[in-house]
Amino acid sequence: MSARVMAENQPASFAFNAEMQERAKKIVAKYPAGRQASAVIPLLDLAQRQEGWVSRPAMERIAVMLEMAPIRVMEVATVYTMFKLAPVGRNHIQVCTSLSCWLRGSNDVVKSCKDKLGIGLGEVTPDNAFSLEEVECAGACVNAPVIAVGDDYYEDVDYASTGKIIDALKRGEKLPPHGSMTGRDNAAPAGEKTSLTDDPTKPIPKQDFAAAKAAFEKAKAEAAAKAAAPKA
Amino acid sequence: MPKLTIDGIQVEVPPNTTILQAAERIGVEIPRFCYHDRLSIAGNCRMCLVDVEKSPKPVASCAMPVNEGMVVHTKSERANKARNGVMEFLLINHPLDCPICDQGGECDLQDQAMAYGFDRGRFHENKRAVKDKYMGPLVATCMTRCIHCTRCVRFATEVAGVPELGALGRGEDMEITTYLEGALTSELSGNVVDLCPVGALTSKPYAFHARPWELRKTETIDVMDAVGTNIRVDARGREVMRVLPRINEDVNEEWLADKSRHACDGLGYQRLDRPYVRRNGKLTAVSWEDAFDAIAVRLRASAGNRMAAIAGDLADVESMAALKDLMAALGSHNIDCRQDGAALDPKVRASYIFNATIAGIEQADAILLVGTDPRREAPVLNARIRKRFKKGGLSVGVIGADTKLTYKTENLGASADVLARIADGSHPFAQVLKNAKNPMIVVGMAALSRADGNAILAAARQLADTCGAVKDGWNGFNVLHTAAARVGGLDIGFAPGEGGKDTRGILEAAGKGEIDVVFLLGADEIDTARLGKAFVIYQGHHGDRGAHRADVILPGAAYTEKDGTYVNTEGRVQEAYRAVFPPGEAREDWTILRALSAVLAKTLPYDNIKQLRARMAKANPVFAGYDKVHPAEWKSFGAAGAIAATPFDYPVKNYYMTDPISRASRTMAQCTEEFVLGSKQKTGTHG
């Protein structure tokens, strides 16, 4: 991960629109008086939802709303990579390239994005429609590889299915339902179950912990005796 | 009280003590970078790891509260190994550029690397490099050296009260910066340099000037404000290289204000290093004998009551005592040490000192600031108020214009008559003071130096009585001075005697030609144009306003160049020591006066400083010992009268230039440009 820097060109001002203002008010009201600063992350999120990214005026606005020093808001915004410090496209695609996804073919997924969009990682298309970002573990390793479009995860993607999603986005069509693109049930195994095959309704058999411990102690004593014995 | 064992030593400490604090009590030292006993606990450097029995992992001792029966090993193999590991990680991204680093020789990381460091690196990848940040004219940065202890961030937020420093990003990419890389707008910003355990934040004016082992260290007292901050002056040869704070829990804890720290380069400019006499309208360099002769000739032609003396804000008590004795011998009672004409009663000590003491601020629960801007007049004292404020339950009321103090205040109005309404109980803040257990009233020079200063003093005294600020064990009536010499001057009685004129009277009489000779002992804050045709003798160390007007200049010593006594605003008598010799022919001030007295055939009865101090102690018993605050007796003072409904005019308009030394300092000029004038006044020539 490279250091995140704030965008060079910052807008002159920022204001929450009426809807976001209303939501912000509700969020702030959740916290006890004098603890409004706790609402900084949700408010930064609201700002990002409204503008697509978190600009410096947005941070300053939030600092005023929550009676914090601007630097405190900036600290939070720069710590979380989910907060975008520079403008992104209307459709922000995040490709996970961490270990699990990489083993399962994230290189193909990245290539598919690059081919379809004509941009590299960390870039925005000239029409501002798309932006592409490489992310560290997205937390969906079990269904790797995974891409995130906006708030939705598309799992078990490959070159072709990634292309399909991007095409649908380009045409403005309804997207396929999010989740596994191979039709897997949540995070269940792709084929037959290989574990947890017992009947979950049956009671769990009692285990003899005392016996297990005795066996462990015996093994330990034997190992100790072996180590202590003079070497032949 | 939990009992625990640290390195085999049993210790009993109050609950909520951390292991590190408990270890410190019994003299077991645990290395640390992020922990600082005056800042909140961060626990992020991990250098203080110790081995606690029954704990699966080494424990960060700075953040771990003690438990009953804990057994701690600070020097076990596991603890040492853990610290070695932490040190190796810290050094991975540290540039190891000690030979070119200003912190070298006084660096925590360097010292601790000697104890815990590995003798070679095992890290073969590229080191991290961080762009340097701008933090103003006082703090130089080399952020590649930063180990992210966040001491500076916590100091700025908690002690200085200017939340402008922050840590942006995370992990390896974490960077300490000010908001939008602006200058750190605190009067205490220099302290981040002391706090920084590595060379990331260093002093900009002192950059590459000296190494710590070349410096001669003198523990003395600061005179840039009336707090009497305990300082250490580091000198090389005849030059003061830097000023650092000393720890004194009762005065400055361990903080030092920026002017006190950085104005020391002013000691090298504009110095008066030889006597001068004005001949044909031009100051001409002369010998001491000629200068004394010129004075003697002029004084012989004048009567005692046509002479006057004004002592400046940086004068030591010794020189004021000598000048007072000399003036008395000449038959003059026209002496004053209150250049601003503050209405302080020299006869009642309680009327001119900070009775509650600086440490006493921590007991206060309501403070009324009357015509004072502590942030600029006494930044270290202001930090003490903020410390109290942070504990909660303190209400601060301000009479005077808002000055962005570093704690929440309630502005009761800018005009002075609000005080009268609080004093008679018709203002709601009177109730706040009355309900407080330990109320404090702080009267500043903006209030007392007005024409109605006496009435304000009386109203403040009345308020102190009515709200119960004066009782057994607590005196909440306080005067916050701006001049280091003021309390000492009043204590030694450098004030108009029987029928004598005060500063206002002296200036008026000189203008009218009723006073022929005015002796200025480093007095530069008076309107010298009003001295009329008087013969002005200026004794001081800088070619400032007073010297420009002078007819005879006697070169004296600055505060780092003489042994002296200073009394701070709370009436604490402190002893300052000479760190370097005065330049050229300049001499210690009291010796000049002693020599002059011999020429005038009024020889003062002391030949050494010991005799002079005995004389001072005889004049006022407070001078018999040092480092003590003598509680003052509560008597009546002030004169009731009408208070004009005009706003207070704070005396410190530009914090960075208040006296001849700071006005001569280049560093302070840079600060003035950065903080006071702002960028809007910059022209093309500023680059």
**Domain range annotation of chain A:** 18-79, 91-180
Q: Which residues of A touch B164 (CB under 8 A)?
A: 69, 71
Spell B439-468 as b/e; 16+ CB within 10 A means b. Answer: bbbbbbbbbbbbebbbbbbbbbbbbbeebb
Q: Are strands A130-135 and A91-96 parallel, antiparallel or unpaired?
A: parallel
Please give the average per-residue pLDDT across A117-134, as a whole number: 92
- Angstroms from A80 CA to nearest CA on chain B: 8
A91-180 CATH: 3.40.30.10
3-state secondary structure of B552: strand
Counting one residue from chain A and one from chain B, the pairs whose CB atoms sit within 8 A come to: 33
Q: Is the pLDDT of residue A37 over 90?
A: yes
Average pLDDT score, chain A: 91
pLDDT on residue A38: 95
pLDDT confidence of residue B499: 87
> Residue B166: its chain A contacts at CB < 8 A?
69, 71-72, 74-75
pLDDT tens for residues A160-203? 999 999 999 999 888 888 889 988 888 888 888 888 888 888 88
Question: Nearest-CA residue of chain B relative to A59?
Answer: B179
* Below-50 pLDDT ranges, chain B: 680-681, 686-687
Q: Assign domain A18-79 to a CATH class.
A: mainly alpha
* pLDDT score of B171: 87
Q: Vertex B77, ends B74 and B81: CA angle to 5°? A: 95
Rounded distance between C-alpha atoms, residue B367 and residue B619, angstroms: 34
Q: How far apart are CA B40 and CA B636, in angstroms?
A: 44
Predicted confidence at residue A231, as pLDDT, reads 66
Evaluate whether B479 touches B352 at the Cβ level (below 8 Å): yes
- In the prediction, which pLDDT does B498 show? 86
* Chain A residues touching B171 at Cβ < 8 A: 1
Residue-wise pLDDT for B144-202, tens only, equals: 999 999 999 999 999 999 999 999 998 888 999 999 889 999 999 999 999 999 999 99
For A79, the closest of B164, B169, B179 (CB atoms) is B169
Residue A114: Cβ within 10 Å count: 15
Query: What per-residue confidence (pLDDT) applies to A203?
Result: 83
Cβ of A75 within 8 Å of Cβ of B167? The answer is yes
Q: What is the pTM of this model?
A: 0.91
Residue B11 host element (H or E) = strand B9-12
Report the mean per-residue pLDDT for chain B: 93
Instruction: Answer yes or no: do A71 and B178 touch at CB < 8 A.
Output: yes
**Which of B168, B176, B177 would you mutate first to test chain A, the one with the most A CBs within 10 A?**
B168
| H or E segment to which residue A180 belongs | strand A179-180
Tell me whether A5 touches chain B (CB under 8 Å). Answer: no
Residues A5-23: what's their mean pLDDT? 92
Helix (H) or strand (E) holding B462: helix B453-466
What residues in B contact A1, CB-CB < 8 Å? 171, 173
- Residue B163 to residue A71, Cβ atoms within 8 A: yes
Residues of A with CB below 8 A from B148's CB? none
Question: CB–CB of A69 and B163 under 8 A?
Answer: yes
Alpha helices in A30-180 (DSSP H): 40-51, 56-65, 70-79, 99-103, 106-117, 159-171
Q: How many residues make up chain A in this entry? A: 232
B575: left (phi over 0), alpha (psi -120 to 50) or beta: beta
Show which of residues 71-100 on chain A sit within 8 Å of chain B, judged by CB atoms: 71-72, 74-75, 78-79
Nearest-by-CA chain A residue for B154? A72
What pLDDT score does A229 carry? 82
Phi-psi region of B499 (alpha: psi -120 to 50; beta: other; left: phi over 0): left
pLDDT number for residue B687:
45
> For residue A3, what pLDDT is reported?
59
Q: What is the pLDDT of residue B503?
A: 94
What's the CA gap between B38 and B20, in Å, rounded? 14
3-class secondary-structure state, position A75: helix
Three-class SS state of B674: helix
What distances in angstroms separate CA B194 from CA A167, A183, B245, B595, one per listed residue? Answer: 59, 62, 9, 42
